[in-house]
Amino acid sequence: MAFVCLGITMLPTPAAALSPLQASLEYTIDPGAYNNSVRAAPTSAMIYPRIAIDRDPASPRDGTIYVVGLQYAPNGSCGNPAVVRSIDGGRTFDAPHVAPLCLSGLSLDVTADNGTLFAASWGPRFLRSTDGGISWEILATIGNASAPASLAVDKVTGGLHLAWSTARWPDLGPVYASSSRDGGQNWTAPVAVLPAGLPAFSPQIAAYNDTVVVGLATANATGPFVAAVTSRDGGATWGSATALTPTAPCLRWSAPSSTVSSSGTFAISWYADPALLPQGCWDNWGNATQTFVSVSVDGGRTFFAPRLAGGPPGWSAMSFGDAVAFDTHSRLYVTWHSIARNWTAASVYVANSTDLGQGFESSSFTTRLQVGGGNSTAQENLALGLNDTVYLLWVAFDPSGDPNRTGIFVRGIAGEAKGNLALTSPTSASVDVQVRDASTGAIAYHAAWDGSPVTVPNVPPASYEVQVSVGNESSVAGRMPVRTWGRTTFTVHVTFSSGEPPHPALLPWEITAGAALAVLGGAVLIAVQHTRLTREAVLQREVRRLMYRFIRDHPGSSFSQVREAVGLQNGVAAYHLGVLERQGLVRSKTRRRHRWYYPDGDVTLWHELPLSPLQSSLLDEVRRCPGVGVRELARHVDRRTSSVAYNVKALARDGVLRTEQKGRKLRCFPADEPRPA
* pLDDT of 539 higher than 90: no
- Percentage, residues of the chain above pLDDT 70: 82
Average pLDDT value for residue range 356-363: 88
* DSSP string for 385-416: -GGG-EEEEEEE--TTS-GGG-EEEEEES-EE
pLDDT bucket at 325, cuts 50 / 70 / 90: very high
- Percentage, residues of the chain above pLDDT 90: 44
pLDDT at 150: 97
User: How confident is the model over 117-144, as pLDDT tens digits?
Assistant: 999 999 999 999 999 999 999 999 999 9
Helices marked H in 121-182: none
- Assessment of whether the complete model's pTM goes beyond 0.85: no
**Cβ atoms of residues 96 and 41 within 8 Å:** yes
Query: Higher model confidence: residue 99 or residue 358?
Result: 99
User: How confident is the model over 208-243, as pLDDT tens digits?
Assistant: 999 999 999 999 888 899 999 999 999 999 999 999
* Maximal C-alpha separation, the chain: 99
User: How confident is the model over 551-607, as pLDDT tens digits?
Assistant: 887 788 888 888 877 777 777 788 788 878 776 778 887 765 567 888 875 434 334
Query: Which range, of 300-309, 407-416, 532-541, averages the lowest pLDDT?
Result: 532-541
Average pLDDT value for residue range 76-84: 88
Residues contacting residue 125 through CB under 8 Å, at least 6 positions apart: 103, 138, 140, 141, 142
The domains of the chain, with CATH numbers, are 38-141 (no CATH), 414-501 (2.60.40.10), 613-670 (1.10.10.10)
85 alpha-carbon distance from chain centroid: 19
Query: Higher model confidence: residue 431 or residue 650?
Result: 431
Average pLDDT value for residue range 377-392: 88
pLDDT at 425: 82
Judged on CB neighbours under 10 Å (0-12, 13-18, 19+), 445 is middle
Q: Count of alpha carbons within 13 Å of 360, Cβ hemisphere only? A: 22
Query: Which range, of 203-207, 278-282, 326-330, averages the lowest pLDDT?
Result: 278-282
pLDDT bucket at 644, cuts 50 / 70 / 90: confident
What mean pLDDT value characterizes the chain? 82
pLDDT bucket at 483, cuts 50 / 70 / 90: very high
Q: Calculate Rg over the CA atoms of the chain.
A: 29
pLDDT bucket at 65, cuts 50 / 70 / 90: very high
User: How confident is the model over 400-440, as pLDDT tens digits?
Assistant: 555 557 889 999 999 999 999 999 888 888 899 999 998 87
pLDDT at 139: 97
